[in-house]
Structure formats: C-alpha cells, structure tokens
Amino acid sequence: MMAYIIRRALYAIPILIGVNVLTFVLFFVVNSPDDMARMQLGEKRLTEEAIQGWKQERGYDKPLLWNSSEEGLEKVTDTIFFKKSIRLFLFDFGRSDSGRDISFDISQRMWPSLAIAIPGLIVGLLVNITFALLIAFFRGTYLDITGVVFCVILMSISGLFYIIGGQFLVGKLMNLVPISGYDTGLESIKFLVLPVLVGLVGGIGSGTRWYRTIFLEEIGKDYVRTARSKGLSERLVMFRHVLKNAMIPILTGVVVVLPMLFMGSLITESFFGIPGLGSYTLDAITSQDFAIVRSMVFLGSVLYIIGLLLTDISYTLVDPRVRLQ
Amino acid sequence: MPTLLWTDGLIFLLLFMVVMFVLHVRRHEHLLRPWRSVLRSRVAMASAVILSVYLVIGLLDSLHFHPKLDNPKAEQAQYSTKINSVFDVLVSHLLEQDEKTYSAPFAAYQYSKETIELSDGSTVRELPRLKFGGAHLTDPDSEKVSDIFNRTLVASTKALVVFIVMIGLITWRIAAKKSWPFSNVIKSILKGEMETPWKVIFITLGMSFWVLIIAWDLSHAYHIFGTDKVGQDVYYQAMKSIRTGLIIGTLTTLVMLPFAVLMGISAGYFRGWIDDVIQYIYTTLNSIPGVLLIAASILMLQVYMANHAEDFASLAARSDMRLLFLCIILGVTSWTGLCRLLRGETMKLREVDYIQAAQAFGVGHMTIILRHILPNVMHIILISVVIDFSGLVLAEAVLSYINIGVDPSMNSWGNMINSARMEMAREPVVWWALAASFIFMFVLVLAANLFSDAVRDAFDPRLREREE
C-alpha cells in the first residue's frame, strides 16, 4: 500500500513538470517579460531602465529556457523557467507580480472558499441522494418520469441564471440576505446562505439524475433480487441493501472532488463577492498576474492528482477485491 | 460578393460530413437499427424538429457576403468591407429599427425620461415615444393591446396556411412512397400508427412555425424583446447568437475528434510506451484546471491580436478567428474524457477473437484499426459528440461572462447575459435581455439534452437493459 502511494506520488512529478512547462510556454510565447513590465508598471512613458529594474527585481531578466552564456548545468538552472518553477515544487509560491506574498494570500483566501464549498457539497449530497432514492423507489411510475423530466429541465438552464435569479429573488425582492459580500466569523453565515442555496438548486438536476442511474444499476443486481425473494419489503431492500451498496460509487465519486474544493468556484465567488481562491484566480487572470496564475495552476494540478490518488485508495478500502499494483 | 469566414467553412464541412454519414448509414441495415429507435421516439423527434429550426437559422447566418455599395459613379461594383449574412438580409427590418436606449418589450415609450422641448418653447420631462416600436399607433395606451391581438390573429392565420400546406406536402410524400391512399396515411398518422411519430413532428413543426411567424409579424411593428442600452433590438441579438452557440457546440467536437480518436485507439491498441506517452499527455492536460487553461490561451490570443492587428481584414474576421480559437481550446480541454473511454474500449476489443485472428493472419495494424476497431467504437464517439453539445453551449455563456469567451463584439448569449447582469439592479428592472437569452438558450439546450438522451438509449444497450 505504502509502496503504491509512493510510486504514484513519484509519477506525479513528470506530470507537474509538464503542467509547468505548458503554462510557462502559454504565457511567455507572446507575452514577453518586457510586455509584463509595461503592463504592471502601467505608466505611459517608461524608461528602459525602469523596465530593466522591474525585470531584475522579479527575476525576469534571464533567458526563458536556455541560458547559453553560462557553463554546464547552469545553462538550464539559470533561467526564468527553472528559477520560477522549481520553487513551486517546494510550495514556495514567492511573490506576485504586484509584490504580494502568494502563499500568505492563498492561506488567507482558502477559508472563504472552503466555507462555501464544504456546506455546498454536504447539502448537495444529502438532497440529491434523497431525491434520487425517492425517484428510484418509485421507478417506472409517473413520479419517476416527472422527476427525470424535471431533472432534464433543471440541467438545461445555465448556471448563470440560477445565480442571477437567486440574487434577484432572495436578495433583492425578498430582501432576506445581502446580495454579495463577505464577513469574518459567524457574521459570514448570512453571506454564505445564498451561494450555497444557489449551488444546491443549480446542481440538483444533474446530481439527482446521476445518482438515480447509480441506484438503478444497483437495483438490477442479483443480491437485490435475492433480498426481494427472501420476502423483504421494498423499503427494507432500498434502505438496507441498495442505499448501502450504492454509497460505494457515490462516495468514491465524491473523493475525487474533495481536494479541488480548496480552489473554490470562479463564477460563484466573483458573483457573490467572496474573497476566496476562485475570485483570487479570476482577478489574477484579468490583471495578467503571471505569478499568481502559475501558482494556482500548479496548486490545482497537485490537488487534482491527490484526488486521483485518494480515489484509488478509497476503492481498495471499500472493495478488497481491487488490488493495487 | 460572397465571403467565407473560417467558421463558416468548417460548419459547412461538418454539415457535409453529417450528410455523408446519414447516406452511409441508410445503406447499411445494421447501422440503421439503433437510429430507428431514435426515429420512433416521440421526444427525440420533437427535439430534432426544434434543433433543425435552430440549425436552419444558424446556417442562414453562416452564409456571409460583402454587401454592394450604392455608388452609381463607380464603374466597377464596389463592395463594403462590412460582412453581412443572408440572415441579416432576411431580418433587415430589425437592423434598421434602432432606438436611443432601453425600451421594454412591446413598449411604445422609452424606458427613461427625457427633457422634450414643446413647440411653444417650454420643456417637459416625460417618456418620449419610440422611433419604431409602436410608432404606427396614435394613442398607444388604448390601441396597443388590440393592435397586438390583431397582428397575432393575422399571423396565426398565416401560420395555419403554411402549416396545412406543409403537412399536405409531407403526407403526400409518405403516401407516394408507401403507395397508400392519401386518406389512409392521414388516418394512421392521427391514430399514431405510423412507425415514425408524425403526429408529434407535425405538432412541434406547427408550433415552431406559429411562434416564428408571430414573432416575424410583430417584430415589424414592435421590439418584441425590447431594446438594449444603445437601442439595439434584443430579439435580433438573441437570434444572431444562435450561430455562435451552434458553432461552439459543434466545431469544438469536430476539432477535438481526430485527436481523441487517434490517440485513444492507438493507446489502447499498441499499449507499451505509446500508451504511456498518451496517458501522460492527457493526465497532464486534465490536471490543469480547464478554466485556467482557457483563460491563459485566450489572454495569449488577445495579446497576439493586439500586436498583429493588420493580419485581420475586418472586425468580423477577427472575432471569427477568436471564436474558432475558443473552439480549439475548448476541444483541447474536453478531448481527454473521450480519449480515455476509447482507450479502455480498444483495450477490451483487441483481446476479442476476431481481432486476434486478424492479427494471426498478418493483417496490418492500420487495417485492423480502420476495419475492426473503429466501427466498433463508433457508438461511443457518437454518444459523446451528442452529449457534449449542450454542455458546450452552456460553457460558452459562462466563459463569456468572465470575459474569456467569444469576442465582446460578437453576438452571443453569454455576452448578452454579461452586459445585462448589471441591469437587474436598475429600477424598474431591465429584465428583457436576460429573458431573451434565457429562453433561446433553454429551448436549444433542452432539445439537445432530450435528443442526446434518446441517442444514448438507442446506442448503449447496456443502459437500456438497466432502465427496463
């Protein structure tokens, strides 16, 4: 088990290097350090010295990938790519192009993101599973058909409309909660209710439908038939057998998204003005702050890989037949 | 002078491919069978009708040309640098009806008050009449409702005539093909005895025509979805957005399909280091958060376009390039799922007896892949293409909202939502742009979702058994 985890962790290294090279190339292929300096300094008349100074201060005054003026290994290591990327592997994100400490920003902004994502996930799971179980219980009846039709209808509405509609109805017309903003401590709850609610409504369609197929798959299995033929009531079959066994695919499906919860949601956070990592990323994109975007891409990739690893491990934990090789 | 934008060319290429595919399927009974169950499904056929209405509008909007300039002095015909589409010509009345600023749907008065100078020199602050919306009425307050009612009635009559002619033609075709008497065909259609659910098709078709003709008639006298901040007709914008949505939904898959199919099949078939490399590529791409990858690429494109402004003949060509690029980058972020599915399926297939036998006979790899593996994974490709469509249409709106979608100058539902979201805070609320984009998107995505469900059910027998 331990050996498997270590091997998988080592396998992540080439992937992270690939991610780094890709983002690096994407940003530098057209946006040269000179352009970045001009953009960040933002003054109309810039002297050449000012640009050089900015580049030197932030370590952008080296060649991109290959330093031909150096000797030996230095050819590779004394470049922007090496200097900027290798520190990411130690989770040292350095300073943003506007001079702020990225690691500190991330540690601060992580909490608002989690404050939305975790309740959203839990409430969403509970509601979706309840609905799906209900629909699966009444499978083949009109309730089932109506339920599925409703799911498809809900799925066909863009997430943006849920947010706009939610803000308008709950925030403006009913005046229950503030439309956007954030606060610390318990005060934050009134700001979090609406985003969580909107996320819940927006996800009901696809979630319920997905869990319904999982339940139906489980219902079609042999052990369910055995349980029924033993004379168990349908309710007992559903709750004691189907629900329990269906939790395996459901929970392993949830595990993969767990690490990504840290990243927050770009859209929700920017709409509701929540200072989480999602809006942090979005701000960095709009202000073209390369250091932040690269850090977030790296962080996202690491979390994604952790998610994959956790999924594999959780499979072995719930199903001993799966052997890790 | 006709002109071909990049996306136009590709969309017609795609159309050509679809037509060829249909012709191919029609000749082969075993390929036709799953499609029969799609053709029999009432929901699928109703959605197919709606989808084709969108498709026709989108295709008409993809036939672009440079309009001729009226210049009697010039010896040679001169052409404007502006690009119009056939669709623009059809709805030219909407283009010429610009107002000053916001106006509500069916309004005769402007949304905001203005200071108006009266003939005697004094000024009053009141809501001015619109230049076009309800301009033919002398007293809008009393006449408007009956006018709208009358126009709707006239339009409905027109729609009914069109509907009857159309039904007659189709029924006549069926009757001729089956060599049945005309009345028998009508009877069995009404009773729902035909294999294809013609009754549902006729009803959906009739409804679509009814809505289209009413909208067409009313839009000559009113702004049926109001006007936006600069007085442009919102209905026109929503209609123009259809093309953008369709292109994002279809071209993205067209772009990513060759990669996904090639890589997925070779990874599963050849195994070994090829498999490792391909797995490495898609895990790497997958582990970058999709939005960030799109954002980075679009930023890159923006910088490139700003530095190479002279490479683009016109604004339309530029925004078209951006649209195509968006399709490509969306394709890059979305091909991995299909690639993984194909890899798994190919790995299963290559152990199957007939492929082992083919290998033992010394059949080349290319032949095995093309003749044995590709046809057997075709249903996976098809299902994923159809299922992806609605997700991509929705994705466009979200991306345009965070300004990394299509060009801001291009008509798209995402841009409409983006520019309208601040208007919800106004008093009274400016809701019509949102409503228009909501309705247009919802109908398209719903139809696409229902259709893709039917296709999936037809092609994935495992799933069908489970549902029963």
Top pLDDT among A130 and B313 is at A130
Most confident residue range from A176-190, A196-210, A272-286, B87-101:
A196-210
- Cα angle B253, A22, A27 (rounded to 5 degrees) comes to 100
Q: Looking at the complex, report in whole angstroms how far the Cα of residue B361 sits from the nearest Cα belonging to chain A.
A: 34
User: CB atoms < 10 A from the CB of B438, how many?
Assistant: 21
Q: Find the mean pLDDT for residues A75-92.
A: 72
Side-chain half-sphere of B146: how many Cα atoms within 13 Å? Answer: 6
Between CA A131 and CA A139 the distance in angstroms is 12
| Chain A, nearest residue to B415 by Cα | A160
Domains of chain A and any CATH numbers:
2-90 (no CATH), 102-323 (1.10.3720.10)
In the prediction, which pLDDT does A123 show?
Answer: 93
In the prediction, which pLDDT does B266 show?
Answer: 92
CB interface of B with A, residues 363-402, below 8 Å: 390, 394, 397-398, 401-402
Whether the CB-CB separation of B219 and B90 falls below 8 Å is answered with no
Question: Does the CB of B434 have a partner CB in chain A at under 8 Å?
Answer: yes
Taking 90 as the threshold, does the pLDDT of residue A189 lie above it? no
User: CB atoms < 10 A from the CB of A257, how many?
Assistant: 14
CB interface of B with A, residues 268-287, below 8 Å: 280, 283-287
Contacts of A277 in chain B (CB under 8 A): none
pLDDT tens-digit profile of A41-52? 666 666 777 777
Question: Does the CB of A169 have a partner CB in chain B at under 8 Å?
Answer: no
Question: Does the CB of B255 have a partner CB in chain A at under 8 Å?
Answer: no
Mutate to test the interface with A, among B299, B392, B431 (most CBs of A within 10 A): B299
Whole-number percent of chain A with pLDDT over 90: 10
Taking 80 as the threshold, does the pLDDT of residue A251 lie above it? yes
Whether residue A152 and residue B291 make contact (CB cut-off 8 A), yes or no, is no
Per-10-residue mean pLDDT, chain B, length 468:
83 91 88 86 90 92 83 70 82 78 79 75 76 76 83 89 89 83 80 81 89 87 82 87 92 88 91 89 86 82 77 79 90 87 89 89 89 88 88 89 83 87 75 89 94 86 50
Whether the CB-CB separation of B284 and B291 falls below 8 Å is answered with no
Closest CB to B283 among A15, A161, A281: A15
Q: Which two tokens stand for residue B358?
A: 């083919």
In the prediction, which pLDDT does B466 show?
Answer: 44
In the prediction, which pLDDT does B467 show?
Answer: 44
In the prediction, which pLDDT does A43 show?
Answer: 60
ipTM field? 0.85
Question: Does the CB of B302 have a partner CB in chain A at under 8 Å?
Answer: no
In the prediction, which pLDDT does B465 show?
Answer: 46
> Can you give the three-state secondary structure of chain B, one letter per residue?
CEECCHHHHHHHHHHHHHHHHHHHHHHCHHHHHHHHHHHHCHHHHHHHHHHHHHHHHHHHCCCEECCECCCCCCCCCCECCCCEEHHHHHCHHHHCCCCCCCECCCCCECCCCEEEECCCCCEEEECCECCCCCCCCCCHHHHHHHHHHHHHHHHHHHHHHHHHHHHHHHHHHHHHHHCCCHHHHHHHHHHCCCCCCHHHHHHHHHHHHHHHHHHHHHCCCCCCCCECCCCCEHHHHHHHHHHHHHHHHHHHHHHHHHHHHHHHHHHHHHCHHHHHHHHHHHHHHHHCCHHHHHHHHHHHHHHHHHHCHHHCCCHHHHHHHHHHHHHHHHHHHHHHHHHHHHHHHHHHHCCCHHHHHHHHCCCCHHHHHHHHHHHHHHHHHHHHHHHHHHHHHHHHHHHHHCCCCCCCCCCCHHHHHHHHHHHHHCCCCCCHHHHHHHHHHHHHHHHHHHHHHHHHHHHCHHHHHHHC
Taking 60 as the threshold, does the pLDDT of residue A266 lie above it? yes
Question: Does the CB of A153 have a partner CB in chain B at under 8 Å?
Answer: yes
